[in-house]
Amino acid sequence: MLEAVPMSHSRTVQTRLVLPPDTNHMNSIFGGKVLAYIDEIAAIISMKHAKMETVTASFDSVDFFSPIRSGEIMEVEGLVSATGRTSMEVYIRVSSLNIETKERKLTTESFVTMVAVDGEGKPQLVAPVYAETEEEKRLFESSPQRRAHRKAKREMPHSFF
Ligand SMILES: CC(C)(COP(=O)(O)OP(=O)(O)OC[C@H]1O[C@@H](n2cnc3c(N)ncnc32)[C@H](O)[C@@H]1OP(=O)(O)O)[C@@H](O)C(=O)NCCC(=O)NCCS
């Protein structure tokens, strides 16, 4: 088994300015744009942890709590919150910052499963993680429940054609 590393090792933060081309007719960012940013940061986070290429196996959950408007600053941050043998559960949260009102809001939360792969796309072992802060401990301790949920979902019939 590989040596455990702190969850903070993979922590990544990306800051962006939301501009009119990113937004819909209601002046708020397209959900698909947010998903693309989540996918990108999940790749960076998982590659930092696994020290190799990774692929997205599943968007396990995405919850949108409030919109981000054009002109606001968007912060996307996350880390590896738990690991399996070759998979990594990546936790990502998105917040908005309005410079005029100074208001900061949590707008989106997501869990993504990433898998470490070799050059042929074959899954590879990853190191376990350990939590240091209270928030990391909460994420880590709740991960078996999410893993069980993912397993149950995968076991459901999913080809309806
Ligand atoms: C993800 C992928 C590498 C898994 O390969 P596989 O041959 O099914 O390998 P395994 O069954 O051994 O699964 C490997 C790990 O992935 C996890 N996994 C596979 N599919 C999953 C899914 N849909 N959701 C969550 N976890 C998944 C397994 O639980 C296992 O985790 P563990 O090793 O930590 O126990 C393969 O399905 C793949 O390449 N998918 C396409 C990825 C891609 O192209 N993504 C880009 C977006 S389209």
Does a structural domain hold residue 151?
yes
- String of b and e for 7-37 (b: at least 16 CB within 10 Å)? beebebeeebebeeebbeeeebbeeebbbeb
Does a structural domain hold residue 11?
yes
CATH number of the domain that 118 lies in?
3.10.129.10
pLDDT of residue 157: 81
Q: Could you report the per-residue pLDDT of 23-63, keeping only the tens digit for each?
A: 999 999 999 999 999 999 999 999 999 999 999 999 999 99
Say if ligand 1 is within 6 A of residue 124 CB: no
Domain span at residue 58?
A: 7-155
Beta bridge partners of 76: 14, 94
DSSP symbol at 4: P
Does a structural domain hold residue 147?
yes
Give the SS3 label for residue 21: helix
CB 37 within 8 A of CB 14: yes
Which atom of ligand 1 sits closest to the CA of residue 39? 47
* Total domains, the chain: 1
Whole-model pTM? 0.96
Does a structural domain hold residue 1?
no
Cα 159 from chain centroid (whole Å): 26
Say if ligand 1 is within 6 A of residue 84 CB: yes
